[in-house]
Amino acid sequence: MSDAPLTDPADDLLDVLDLTYEGSTTIQVASPTEATGDLGVYGGEVFTGRSQPQPHGRVFGGQVLAQCVVAAGRTVAGIDDGGGRRHIHSLHGYFLRPGDASKEIQFVVEGMRDGGSFSARRVHATQEGRILLSLITSFQEESGGLEHHLDMPDVPGPEELRSDREILEQIDHPVARHFARYRAVDLRHTERLLLGPAEPGPAAQSVWMRVEKDLPDDDLLHAAILAYASDYVLLEPVLRTHGVGWGDPRLRAASLDHAMWFHRPARVDEWVLYTQSSPSAQSGRGLGLGHMFTADGTLLATVGQEGMVRLKA
């Protein structure tokens, strides 16, 4: 792996999210017997995208999640029956298999339903005929209604904190160098960066994040990058409470599922505070919950993820 990035990390992320439309397809569920009748024929759209290189060779889950958001969003972009465009408001997905970061991924989007104000899509991210991620997501046109949101906690501002990139650049390890130079999102932990062993602490943390580049005024793109970044650190509170760092050679961790609710439009080229906690860990699994706020305290999104978290003897 070269020590020098081939391109600006933000530009590289935008290229990864610029999926290629391959065309329409038909999804048919064959009936096992005559008694069950017709199980349905559904229309679909197919997109292709590349992956970002990773030091371990496996596709970053947040990347696949973000690409699914883009693929699904493109299939609802033309729907406007007078109430305005439809914006993503939730997603629920399962990570089923690891992907190969050196190979393209195909995204098959099934148009499940277009109602009066909501649209639902199912996306299968596949590689060589195997499903990596299966996701259902929903879009809604803007509407009036009740309004309230959680208050943002009082934490140090991003200007008071060192960038994770600066810390990782000082570590003589190929994985640390890779993340320091190739991550498109600037992360700034309000707590000590979770690298090596530490004393057990609270199952909570806060991280500021931002893309250091002006991005287009595209709500779908910003939502996709918010989903991308949501997968970086959500399991860290599980590790913090047990004093385990990412550099622990015993650690085996992987995302199992991911849920996200988009409450309000976001801009990821402005600072976003990502607060996380872990209510439980058991049976080799840990649960992370997160909230994302604008710098002025407006709640943007809520996130949940369960992951495999094991310590190999």
Residue 68's DSSP bridge partners are: none
Catalytic residue list contains 305? yes
R_g (Cα) of the chain, nearest Å = 20
Annotated active-site residue 231? The verdict is yes
- Residue 301: beta bridge partners? 262, 292
Catalytic residue, candidates 231, 248, 276, 277 = 231
Handedness of CA 77, 82, 87, 93 (dihedral sign): negative
Q: Which residues are within 8 A (CB) of 295 and not within 5 positions of it... i.e. 6 or more apart?
A: 157, 158, 270, 271, 272, 273
Whole-angstrom Cα distance, residue 57 to residue 6?
Answer: 17
Tally the residues of the chain. 313
Q: Which of 51, 276, 278, 305 is catalytic?
A: 305
Please provide residue 13's backbone torsions phi and psi, each rounded to the nearest 5 degrees. Answer: -65, -40
Sheet (strand 118-127) strand order: 20-28, 41-49, 105-114, 118-127, 130-141, 86-95, 251-262, 299-311, 285-294, 272-282, 204-211, 185-189
| Residues forming beta bridges with residue 280, ordered by sequence position | 287
Spatial contact of 185 and 232, defined as CB atoms under 8 Å apart:
yes
> Is 18 a catalytic site residue?
no
Q: Which residue among 255, 276, 277, 278 is the active-site one?
A: 255
Q: Would you please indicate which residues are annotated as catalytic (active-site) residues?
A: 231, 255, 305
